[in-house]
Each structure stands twice: as structure tokens, then as C-alpha cells.
Structure 1
């Protein structure tokens, strides 16, 4: 974090993702957006609003690369809650700080294991923290696998989309992943991380589990600016996409790097486009299984 970011954080001010010249330019050009950009925005909204016969569960995993799954999950959750007409639940199983609750602006996220009653939503909501219209969050221990069947499954039926943020090797994340409708792998934008993604997808193919690769979206995340300058992200993305997985690159964003609550109006324009694309990709793969929606997608797609 830079000196400027630290000063802003200490003063309680949110650092904008885009620089001042870029924000001014965006504001000046907004009334003159080309028709194709308007059409793209409408199309993304339509994809995010797809109806689901039953609730969809999406697990967000770091594949052991140490990437910040909490902040990406917060962005995805805000996107779904904004566009959809049903409820969205974001579950924090990361065990890290800043937590998913912090990223969503919750003062404290309740513990899933401590009395979330799934008899009816009006009762269940008492054990959750609401962080916006149609959006709730709750936390759970990384290694409490038993709470998935006893608490989360009954609870998730009240939600159109349930997101679970966790990390590789954690018991809770692993058990959710076994029955998740789609997965999002958030990995560092480095050569080592992309090689790990490639190996994991190869294992799917070799094990006859190609359908799991096609239900996966990979987010190459530049948490630190130009974390690996030698990474050829476009080439790496094309190689990963050959498995059937979706791939997007989430560029460094000063607002996300600040570490506090994610305020969607403060994130960079490129971040906004990329997250909407990732959210639509993940949802469509969750709905369509191993035959994901295939129309042209925009954003920072690779």
C-alpha cells in the first residue's frame, strides 16, 4: 500500500480505482458511448438475470496460490445482488483478514455454526448479516466440513445464488466444491500460478472430468501492480481456455488494494467490466453445467 493509500485509509476515505484524469475522461465520454457498448451492457445484465430452477452454489477458491478470494467474492456478490431479483448469500470460509464481511461492509458476520435456523427465511435471516438489498453474508470455520450439510445446504434453498469464498485444502471448501454447480479459481497473475491452473485442469481431463473444467472460471488477479512482468497473460489465458474453462484477467485496482469495504462506485472501470463478465460466466456455467452459454463475452477476457 502506498503512502497516499495509507493516508486515505486512515482518514476513512476510499481510494478510487481509476486516476483523476481517467475518471474525468470517463465522465466526459459517458453520454457519447457507442451503441455497441450500450448493447453489451444490456447483454451482460440479461445473462446475470438468468432464472434458476433451484439455487446455484458457486465456490470461489484460490487453488493454493494465496490470492484474495474474499475481495473477488464480494465483487461477484454485489454484481449478482444488483442485477438479480432473488436473494444472494456470500459465505466466508477464508479465515483471513480483511474478511469477506469487511469487504461487504458488515460490522460482524455471524457464525454459520451458531444457530442459523433453516426452517423459514424469516427465521434464518436472524442469523445472517444483511449487507445490501438482496444480499446477506455469514462466516464459517475453514475446516468445519460438517456444517455444510447441516447448515448451509438447508439455508441455500432460500437463495438464487450462494457464493462460498475459501482456499484450497480447507475441509469446508473441499466439501462444497464436490457438489458446487460452478467454481471460480482466483489465482495470482504469475507464471507459477498459471502453471498450477494448467496442471489442475490437466488432472480433470486425464481423470475423465472434462465437465468440471467446463464449469470453471479462472480469474488471473493482479493484486499487486505488475506482480509478474514476465507473464504473458494473453498466451497463458488461451492455453487455459483450451480446456473449456473461462478465463478473465482482473487488473490491479487501487481501491481493492486499500483493504477495506468494496464500494462499487469507486472501483476502476476495467474492474467493473471484468467482474461483470466473470459473474455472468460463472452463473451461466452453474446453470448450463458442462455446456456453458457461448455467446461473445466482453470485459478483460483472455
Structure 2
């Protein structure tokens, strides 16, 4: 039987969100426009072209990017959505956003999906080697030129088991050049497995002493895995407010000592709203950081075996 569609967000909450805010304040946008008039944009254009080239490089087999963090509420799903959007925007092949956090996954909301129907667990039971891309996409949610596979129907569901995660990611690699898996927080079993088996990894670290310290421990664990997991890992450093007590440069330096690149995602008023992410409303610094993060991740995923 076909499951009935379920809304990703209660209509009352949609109304409560009101009009989404721009990531940058009006004052900041006006100031940037004046500075832009007074300076050359050649350097910015060159950097954007370099990043676009990185993001458009071909992949021989489907690449899986796993995103996790040491705890919830630090922007893990926002980072997953930003990565998926960047890959969808720049690439000309198929991109999948996979919600692998069945307990409280909110990736469908962040990607702007109005409703969901089939879940990861349900699709795992239906997948066969003879299925074509069009067969598979019948069970997925279209999002801005890419595809989404929810973990559940917006309810607290049973934890995603390892067998299901492995079956789905392995099977769907045939159809999708890049899969972004928004995993549960560590030390969850699926998160640990995803970090161990993915082609590239993103660890989302909150800009707090506890968050940076805990993330450094995760990086040391990755360094001890039997294959070179650390060389395909990138840290996304996230700020929960415009005035974080921890110095960004000091935090990034501490994490880089483990041998990984660190991309800082600044506080963004639009992301902080918690609703559907609209790329045009993101702050300029956020858009650039998200694109750079996606390029760093793909560069490592392509090099992975």
C-alpha cells in the first residue's frame, strides 16, 4: 500500500514563521553595496570561478558525503541542506539529499519540501537491481532540481538501522553522482558507520569551548580508523549567535592542528529562523562559506577510493 503524504511542517507553524528574514541586515547590505562600487570585483570573480570548477568536476562513481556532529542543535541539518543546494546548483548530474536521522530529522523542512511520503526504510524494502533512475525517483521528493529521501514522515520514528542505511546508500550510488547524508549525532551507530564508510565527511562543530573540544576528540578517533578517514574530513564551524564568546580564529586553529581544513559558517539571521532555506535570502558571507565548504568536501570525496 502507498503511504499517505504527510506535511513536513504544521500549517500553524508555517504562519508563525512569518516573512523570512534576510541573512544580512539592511545596513550591512547597503554598506557592502557602497564598498563594492569603490573596489574591483575581479578577485571575487576569480575565486568564484575556481570554486565552481571544483564543484563541477566529474565523478566516476557515486560519492557519499556524511554529515554529523557531537550533539544536536548545532546546525548539522542546515549544513547538510546548504551542501545539497550547492551541489544541485553547480552540478549537471543527479544529486540526492538523504535524511539519515529518523528520530528528529528536519532535512525536508530545511529543503522546503511541502510533504513527504516514502521513507528511507520503506524504499529499502522496494529497491531492486533492475530499477531505473525514473523508477527510483517515483519514491523521492523533488527539491530545486535535486532529490530528497526522508528518514520518516515527520514523526519520531524508530532509529534507522545499519542494514537499511548500508543498503540504501550502496544501491542509490548507481543513480546519484553525489549523496549528502544528514546523519544522527555521534556516537549513534549509523553516524559512526556513515563516518567510517563515506567518501567524505563533514563534522559540524559549534563555536563553543565544549563543541570545539568534543570535535577535536572526534577527529582523533577518525585518525585511528584503519583507512585514511581524516584526509577526507572537513570541519564546519557554526555560530549560534552574532556574538559568540569563543574566538573564531583560535577555534579554527585548534581544529586544524588535527590535520583537517576548517570552514567557518557565520551567524545568519535567515538560517536562525529554522524554516525552509531560501538561497537568495542567505547572507553573502554564508553563501560564500557554504559554497567553499561544498568544494572542499567534493575535492576530498573525488580523491577517495
The interval holding the TM-score normalised by the smaller chain is 0.7 to 0.9
Corresponding residue of 2:172: 155
Deviation at 1:238, TM superposition (A): 1.8
Corresponding residue of 1:24: 30
Aligned partners of 2:162, 2:225: CA distance in 1, in Å?
26
Aligned with 2:209 (options 191, 198, 223): 191
Aligned partners of 1:178, 1:202: CA distance in 2, in Å?
13
1:245 and 2:251 correspond: no
Aligned partners of 2:162, 2:52: CA distance in 1, in Å?
34
1:138 and 2:171 correspond: no
Deviation at 1:138, TM superposition (A): 1.0
1:277 and 2:284 correspond: no
Deviation at 1:209, TM superposition (A): 5.4
Aligned partners of 1:8, 1:111: CA distance in 2, in Å?
23
Cα RMSD (Å): 2.4
1:58 and 2:65 correspond: yes
- Deviation readout 1:248-288 (Å, 9 max, x if unpaired): 11111100011110000000001011101111111111112
CA contact (8 A) 2:99 2:181 kept: yes
CA contact (8 A) 1:92 1:138 kept: yes
Aligned partners of 2:201, 2:295: CA distance in 1, in Å?
13
Deviation at 1:233, TM superposition (A): 2.1
The count of corresponding residues between Structure 1 and Structure 2 is 280
Q: Extract unaligned runs of 5+ from structure 2.
A: 1-12, 152-157
Secondary structure in 2 matching 1:211:
coil
Moved over 6 A (4+): none
Aligned partners of 1:223, 1:232: CA distance in 2, in Å?
13
Deviation at 1:50, TM superposition (A): 1.1
Aligned with 1:127 (options 139, 142, 146): 139
CA contact (8 A) 1:59 1:163 kept: yes
Q: Extract unaligned runs of 5+ from structure 1.
A: 1-6, 291-302
Deviation at 1:30, TM superposition (A): 5.3
Corresponding residue of 1:202: 220
Secondary structure in 2 matching 1:58:
strand
1:11/1:173 Cα in 2 relative to 1: closer, same or farther (>3 Å)?
Answer: closer
Deviates more, 1:240-249 or 1:22-31: 22-31
Aligned partners of 1:251, 1:213: CA distance in 2, in Å?
24
Of structures 1 and 2, the one with the larger relative CO (CA 8 A, separation 6+) is: 2
TM-score, normalised to structure 1, is 0.85
Deviation at 1:187, TM superposition (A): 1.6
Secondary structure in 2 matching 1:157:
coil
Aligned partners of 1:192, 1:11: CA distance in 2, in Å?
30
1:262/1:98 Cα in 2 relative to 1: closer, same or farther (>3 Å)?
Answer: farther
Corresponding residue of 2:74: 67
